[in-house]
Amino acid sequence: MSAHHLKLNKTEPLFLPGKDCPTLDLTIIIGTSVVSPTQTARNLGVILDNKVSFTTNIAATTSCCRYTLYNIRRIRPQLSQKATQVLVQALVISRLDYCNSLLAGLPACATRPLQLIQNAAARLVFNLPTFSHITLLLRSLHWLPVTARIHFKTLVLAYHAVNGSGPSYIQDMVKPYTPARALRSASAKRLALRGGPKFPSAKTCRFVIPAPKWWNELPIDIRTAESLQIFRRGLKSHFFRLHFER
């Protein structure tokens, strides 16, 4: 950088400590610039924190969506229900879905703020008061709950990995299940499970632990779908039955 007359700008190290890792002073001095460590960093619109809890990212997403809903609510009297739904899906639901597979493995209490935003969005579409029952609204809109949407995105990535259509770093994260002896289940496209902590933590919020478990729980006709389009259609119908047709 010195040879090319460049200067450091907005450079911060993000340190992700392991278990029982000692506290280190990671301040770096490069020339006349002092680079200090940070607890959060933004990458492609996602805020990463040094505990990999994604609480900061969830809070930022919630705040942005709440502001958008406030603006749509101001013009709601001039909008039809269809126009409101299009606006909400484009400006709010898409925001909730952005990179939501990173939240796989988080407990429901962590993603609850996102679910509250989706509930508010559904009530706004139907122009209903705050405490209106939400299940029938989500079913009418064909919106899966937030946790199901996270599962859906994660399992789509798993489908790409299993069928060799995903990037190599995703494919390397899953391994096919190989039984000790020849069984009929050998052709069921099951995945080998990875070990993990008993309770959700930062280490379980990874693709390699929840994805094989969720994949193996799917009906065999969905796991063996011939195309991504058929898989996505069957997966959404499966989750829709689980959440709305009990």
Write out the E strands in the chain: 28-30, 33-35, 40-43, 46-49
Tokens 């269809």 belong to 82
* Domain extents in the chain: 46-147, 149-244
In angstroms, the CA 20 to CA 170 distance is 29
Element (H, E) at 162: helix 146-162
* CB distance 41 to 35 below 8 Å: no
User: What's the pLDDT at 200?
Assistant: 46
pLDDT along the chain (246 residues), means of 10: 80 80 78 83 90 92 97 96 96 96 90 97 95 92 95 94 86 80 66 63 66 92 93 95 84
User: What's the pLDDT at 47?
Assistant: 93
User: What's the pLDDT at 199?
Assistant: 43
User: What's the pLDDT at 37?
Assistant: 85
Q: What digits encode the pLDDT tens for the residues 64-107?
A: 999 999 999 999 999 999 999 999 999 999 999 999 999 998 88
* CB distance 35 to 12 below 8 Å: yes
Instruction: Tell me the whole-structure pTM to 2 decimals.
Output: 0.85
User: What's the pLDDT at 51?
Assistant: 84
User: What's the pLDDT at 184?
Assistant: 59
